[in-house]
Structure 1
């Protein structure tokens, strides 16, 4: 009896939530493609889809359960096919690797500007024509739609919508691959970028068209460029000009690193990314305004109700704002979600329903399957789900006081509900996010954003009136900025002592903590809501990541993928050593801060016992200041102490020590004080002959000098190692035959940049290693390399790209 009742309940639940199962099947199919190294083959999938359709036709209506199962499989297969089509486009639209570092003449229109300073401008160019010369001087026309370019020391300003002809050096899209960190290759694929490169210095770029006035608009990008230039001119250097441009036009190129950092620390970065909050607000405002005006026309009310009459106007306003903001992926996603709400009203269906929610998810992923991999996708739909869950059964707020309490409660619920997701994607949280957003969201959405858009539109008609409105918006933004800075200062002073460090490292941990957050934020009537706190305990109870050394005699070596540079970490059970910190590429990207520090924090390591800087070149020491901002360091040692006077450092004198049963030996080339900075590099040997040797950037002459001093009488125990870091990134004048024979490694790891201008590692060097049957790993090809040494000297290794190969890599 009980079993029958349980079975009936399960069948009823499955039937009532059938739409949910179909959406899960669709998303599962899309997710499968994102886990594959290549686009899925179309023909087998079509054959399987045909067989499933035949099965459904044959079984209908005799076996409804089997029909549902086959229909779910078919839905998942259709999702796989849709994502496979996008994957094929991503692969086919990329520059061929034979054209890496080729010089090309391209002509196109500026689609967006990522950053613009006196020293460098980074922008996206929509390609109209392209002509390249490959290494054999053969001319070709690559099939690329967009290129992301860097213009170093530009002598001209770049504006949105301008058309340029320029000589550039291009290469295939490629990003650094480090586990759990930002995937630049994926970001480029989501933006449709087919090549990256820089403006060559040999030929001056030629501007083909200037931004015109209102009578000369030929594209949305040109309109945005014109409005951005006028807005900047009207505000005349106001400190909030970049914020107003970001809100009104989606142009964030003017935001300085300090402003970006302040928004990140206050948890308000989402407010300057045009997304659902902004587009929904503008669409809803015009919708409400048009509906109100429609009510003043009684005859029209007899034919069409005011909410339905106002829906198309609201949708057009939302679409216009999405286009004006650059129509980036967050804006596309938000417009689709708003379109579902408009459609529900027109069809007289419930707007805030499960089916509307699920339909929006399907349409967003149908439009752009790669949206599934965006944090914004999950945060947007997660916020809607949390709000709906928390407000179930609650009556609408009445009166200003009740409305204020409702706003505070909703914002608190969103903060709690999205905390696990935010930690999973970004591995950090803002301790002042809740009070910051309680003030910033209404100020931005109800005051600054409407005034910014109104002023921008008025500016075209009447510059004086538009300027006055824009100035008011900028002043309000300035007051908000002061409040946010006060909160950030308060949070930074309180965080070390009052707030624990929270982490979400795995999907299982995410599911458990998300369940706890939803339980805690549950509506009235759900029993024991306070027990949701127990499910949040994994946020503060951490374990080291996979492969972390946890026993005496064991250690992990991680050679980070940092491009043309070097940064590696060695962790024992209780200690951390960092050797080199990579380059500082710009104020927005610092290897020490954004790769080395974040990688250690993800593994629960917040203190570095010893930091070794081989020498002071930027590709080895540039990330030092960024690393020191994030982590505490016990001792800094370098081979060129006179060149690192901004910190207290020690010279690279020969020394030995032991951590957790692991032997360390630090030394340098004898009598190298008068040599080159490369040959003054500190050398590090860990784990003895069964461990690793890190020789920095020493040259062939330094190798021979080391062999003469330390490799006496055929006794190679002073230098031999199982793993060797290839000297000087695989330079042609390093890794001499005698050196390789003396070290006798099993694995060699070289840290180099993809298609770098130095041609590292040199083909002759690679040949030397392979002739000796040494496994050769290049971070440019395999990503970050992790090698685990146990107390028996046996090693295991894996790479970022090898462990998780993806088609966009």
Structure 2
């Protein structure tokens, strides 16, 4: 029988005999060196199994077409069986075990897709009457967003009806009770596709949330049936009602909208009620992670309950002498962490955190070390199996990235910290704590920055300073008062606790606004390609998961990934998926937009992915742009670069001339009988989504949303 996956036993891997001659001898020496390094790291091999599982999951989502549904599970079963057969041969066993985890990750993605597969709207419908059960209520500044489950949509066949739709409701129309069935008049459309190739895919996110249509209500809802009384539906509705109850109590106790929104987010997990200026300040200061319920919050809840229960039990001498009070406190901490997770809705960072916290407390129960990279590996494997689509989002990547880096830093620094702590007085311990906060902030910031660059193209330069000031306030003031508020809410006495908690939130907001207002607080950078993210991730894992000096080989990979954005070819023309907005690249590298009002979300996405905040000069209505690349008249525009011309039609009268002299013709309407090599018209946009065109001296390259996403169940093509 093979040893435990995480065992620290001696390796049986031996270096192969060196064949004669060069370079075979050099290759043999290299193979021997690698074998020796692997042998020294045998206790860490198991940590790579979730990484391999994640690679298999990523491979599934990267495919351009949907594979056969049985392929991943069948491959995992066959490879797992072969691993069992060769379990007494360490080399083949570990290779087959890794391949099994790779196939298991692939199969997890397939299973998740099959489990949530449901119709998505293919076109806009409405105004129509929509009847459905209120599954969630997201409170916003100017109203609410309702998620309606099991909807019945007027004039839409049951086979084409989504399982859920999300509808925005104006504040003047009231707020339905979660769980009740309502009927309202609304306009619905498919979840929007990415506004540019490679941009954030909300449509995929909506698919895995079970949302097949989004839109807005035209009037107030009518209640058709009250909330259900039994079953999981009733439990879900009760939790939603509890979150709403918490939000209402906070609104009554905390007057300032920004403070109330942040307090609510910390108590029930809802961030939608935070005013945008406050939210932007939290982002620009690097403190937005405090609003996402994650390891910090779960750990604080469990830790505070653990310490309080243990201290109270220790005061009772018979109990302290006869009962295992440490283990009792660990059970109470675990129950508190689970309860907090249920209240805030169990998003991915919270799921990861409660898994790790639960394992740490279970380790206390069985007298084992509660702080280990193995906990992270286990939590990652569980999240990938349960919610494989979450691995593609920033929450998973930033959350696990920060935790892995912090534990790796702790493994390196803990012996030194223990030496420094010995013999320190109270001021020395306080200084050491502040140094620990600074180190934690630096490590977490460095670990999450690459993922922030990939997803948001933003870097916050004062994040370390802001976290050094805000994290202690959160740990020692805000979260303890939040637990007191929870305890007092059933009695209706929570207002003093909420007010006190609000004082801490005020301090956090002051830190956020102050640091965000400093010169050069943030910078935008061009979007990092997927290959760059892969290099950073592999390099970071190599640096953190190994213990020997060869781990430093991860640093060049990280550097290469971070610099990958510098070599990405930026598009010369962009066309939105409905043709209402276009952009051309000026000679100075800026993007000039065809309209300052149309498709604002698409425009903001294009500019952010380009690494700039403002667009270049607007298109001339008639005449030439300053650099001469773009010339327009009443019939349309011509864009010239590297001796090639792209025609942008405003009037069909220019079609015949443009179709013969341009390498591409772009129009928001249908274009027929055009001999241009590339035609981007309403039909192509409907079929392919947003377009990006690259003009070079060698030719024209066209990239579309469809070409980057493929034809998958969530693409809507």
For the aligned pair, the TM-score class normalised by the smaller chain equals: 0.7 to 0.9
Q: Which residue of 2 aligns with 1:455?
A: 485
Distance 1:514 1:394 in 2: 28
Distance 2:267 2:287 in 1: 17
Q: Which residue of 1 aligns with 2:369?
A: 350
**Bigger CA drift: 781-790 or 359-368?**
781-790
Query: Which of these residues, 42, 49, 53, is aligned with residue 22 of structure 1?
Result: 49
SS of residue paired to 1:255: coil
Is 1:436 aligned to residue 463 of structure 2?
no
Distance 1:354 1:577 in 2: 45
Is 1:804 aligned to residue 709 of structure 2?
yes
Residue 65 of structure 1: CA displacement? 2.8
Q: Which residue of 1 aligns with 2:78?
A: 51
Residue 177 of structure 1: CA displacement? 4.4
Is 1:782 aligned to residue 700 of structure 2?
no
262 and 358 in structure 1: CA distance in 2 versus 1, 3 angstrom threshold? same
Q: Which residue of 1 aligns with 2:14?
A: none
The gaps in structure 1 that reach 5 residues or longer are 550-555, 607-629, 639-651, 670-681, 751-760, 762-775
Q: Which residue of 2 aligns with 1:205?
A: 222
Residue 542 of structure 1: CA displacement? 5.7
Is 1:425 aligned to residue 467 of structure 2?
no
Residue 151 of structure 1: CA displacement? 2.6
- What TM-score do the two structures reach when normalised by structure 1? 0.73
Is 1:416 aligned to residue 323 of structure 2?
no
Residue 110 of structure 1: CA displacement? 4.2
Distance 1:439 1:344 in 2: 32
Q: Which residue of 2 aligns with 1:545?
A: 568
Verify the 8 A CA contact 1:33 1:83 in the aligned structure 2: yes
Distance 1:478 1:541 in 2: 40
Verify the 8 A CA contact 2:246 2:264 in the aligned structure 1: no
Q: Which residue of 1 aligns with 2:665?
A: 724
Counterparts of 1:186-205 in structure 2, within 5 Å, are 186-201=204-219, 204-205=221-222
Q: Which residue of 2 aligns with 1:322?
A: 341
Residue 36 of structure 1: CA displacement? 2.6
Residue 12 of structure 1: CA displacement? 1.6
Counterparts of 1:290-689 in structure 2, within 5 Å, are 290-296=309-315, 305-391=324-410, 392=412, 393-396=415-418, 397=421, 398=424, 399-463=429-493, 466-490=494-518, 493-494=519-520, 505-506=528-529, 509-510=532-533, 536=559, 539=562, 543-546=566-569, 548=570, 556-561=572-577, 564=578, 566-571=580-585, 574-581=588-595, 583=597, 590-593=601-604, 595-601=605-611, 606=612, 630-631=613-614, 633=616, 635-637=617-619, 652-655=621-624, 664-669=630-635, 683-686=637-640
Counterparts of 1:59-98 in structure 2, within 5 Å, are 59-61=86-88, 63-90=89-116, 92-95=117-120, 97=122
What whole-Å deviation, never above 9, does each CA across 1:309-360 have from its counterpart, x for those lacking one? 2222111111111111223333223222222222322233222123222111
Residue 413 of structure 1: CA displacement? 2.6
SS of residue paired to 1:122: strand
Distance 1:144 1:427 in 2: 33
Residue 286 of structure 1: CA displacement? 0.9
Q: Which residue of 1 aligns with 2:283?
A: 264
Distance 1:123 1:234 in 2: 25
The gaps in structure 2 that reach 5 residues or longer are 1-16, 19-28
What whole-Å deviation, never above 9, does each CA across 1:277-331 have from its counterpart, x for those lacking one? 1122111111222223343456656776333222221111111111112233332
What whole-Å deviation, never above 9, does each CA across 1:65-115 have from its counterpart, x for those lacking one? 32332232222222222221101123x223364896584532212413052
Q: Which residue of 2 aligns with 1:33?
A: 60
**Bigger CA drift: 365-374 or 534-543?**
534-543
The count of aligned residue pairs is: 671
SS of residue paired to 1:195: strand
Distance 2:564 2:63 in 1: 33
173 and 524 in structure 1: CA distance in 2 versus 1, 3 angstrom threshold? closer
Q: Which residue of 2 aligns with 1:281?
A: 300
Greater RCO, 1 or 2 (C-alpha within 8 Å, sep 6+): 2
115 and 422 in structure 1: CA distance in 2 versus 1, 3 angstrom threshold? same
Verify the 8 A CA contact 1:560 1:596 in the aligned structure 2: no
Verify the 8 A CA contact 1:427 1:504 in the aligned structure 2: yes
259 and 141 in structure 1: CA distance in 2 versus 1, 3 angstrom threshold? same
Distance 1:421 1:532 in 2: 16
Residue 573 of structure 1: CA displacement? 6.0
Q: Which residue of 2 aligns with 1:112?
A: 137
Verify the 8 A CA contact 2:349 2:395 in the aligned structure 1: yes
Distance 2:127 2:64 in 1: 26
Verify the 8 A CA contact 2:127 2:185 in the aligned structure 1: no
Residue 666 of structure 1: CA displacement? 1.6
Distance 1:510 1:205 in 2: 48
Verify the 8 A CA contact 1:99 1:171 in the aligned structure 2: yes
Verify the 8 A CA contact 1:173 1:196 in the aligned structure 2: yes
The structure where helix makes up a greater share of residues is 2
Residue 17 of structure 1: CA displacement? 2.9
Verify the 8 A CA contact 1:95 1:172 in the aligned structure 2: yes
Residue 423 of structure 1: CA displacement? 1.9
Verify the 8 A CA contact 1:39 1:87 in the aligned structure 2: no
SS of residue paired to 2:416: coil
Residue 49 of structure 1: CA displacement? 4.1
409 and 21 in structure 1: CA distance in 2 versus 1, 3 angstrom threshold? closer
**Bigger CA drift: 417-426 or 533-542?**
533-542
Counterparts of 1:105-254 in structure 2, within 5 Å, are 105-113=130-138, 115-117=140-142, 121-125=144-148, 127=149, 129-134=150-155, 139-140=157-158, 144-152=162-170, 154-158=172-176, 163-201=181-219, 204-206=221-223, 208-209=225-226, 219-236=238-255, 239-254=258-273
